[in-house]
Amino acid sequence: MRESSRFPKRPLAPAAVAAAATALAVILAAFCLFGGAAGQASPRDEEAFTRKRMIMVDEQVAARGVRDPDVLKALRAVPRHLFVPPEYRDEAYGDYPLPIGEGQTISQPYIVGLMTQCLGLGKGDRVLEVGTGSGYQAAVLARLAGAVYSIEINEKLSRRAAGTLKGLGIVNVSLRSGDGFFGWPEAAPFDAIIVTCATERVPPSLLDQLAEGGRLVLPLGDSRSFQTLTLIVKKNGKLVVRDILDVRFVPMTGGRERNERQKHG
């Protein structure tokens, strides 16, 4: 941020001083939140990002079968470019995942839309997300559900996501740094659970925390190769399982999950 060498010859009116202070606070917040000058975007840049976001939703998500109007509206509203590192911002609306640091990625837009649609969310629903990552999926969920609880095992990513969500004024997401394998028992039961990392089996704790009629979507299978995106619905205490499509996610990295992988070779 550059300082100006010009100063007004007369004192500013109180209203002007207040407006200037507010503008400066917004600039400083953006500077701290998004990594300095590289994170700032001009109004023209924001317009370009908005156009890219509309195209992303129409051509990458809706065209592939995600038709829930509320999901599409949420994807159009959430500024995906603010959830990726500055060096990848111009690629934020591309049809592929992107690195977010710490060996993790932000999922392909279509996958975010598809998994969200599978949850069939209502305004009063309580949702658990395992694998906060950048916070983008949580931001989308927050526009559809009443309360979102999101767990991220990497504390650095969790703090960064918290800052991004706070900067966007999203207040119905609760974050925790910890092992998502065990869920969030004190906030259960959940109407929907989404797991954004690969696991070879469904964590029993997540099934226990799923409400009757609840939906659980997760990438299930060998975390070293491809998995099957799977939807599980709890009906009358029983689990109804449906395969959606083949996907590839980064593995769940909790201690319990590592132990399970070692046991099964």
How big is the chain, counted in residues? 265
Task: Tell me which of 4, 5, 107, 223 is the catalytic residue.
Answer: 107
How many contiguous H segments (helices) and E segments (strands) does the chain have?
8, 9
Cβ pair 263, 250 in contact under 8 A: no
Enumerate the H helices of 120-234 as residue ranges. Answer: 136-142, 155-167, 204-208
- Of 186, 209, 20, which is closest to residue 194 (Cα–Cα)? 209
Residue 15 structure tokens:
């209203």
107 is catalytic: yes
Q: With 0-12 CB in 10 A as exposed, 13-18 as middle and 19+ as buried, what is 61?
A: buried
Q: How far apart are the first and last CA of the chain?
A: 53
CA angle, residues 83, 99, 70, in degrees to nearest 5: 45
Cβ pair 68, 122 in contact under 8 A: no
Q: Taking the C-alpha atoms of 80, 114, 212 and 200 in order, what is their torsion angle to the nearest 10 degrees?
A: -90
Give the residue numbers annotated as catalytic, written as ranges. 107
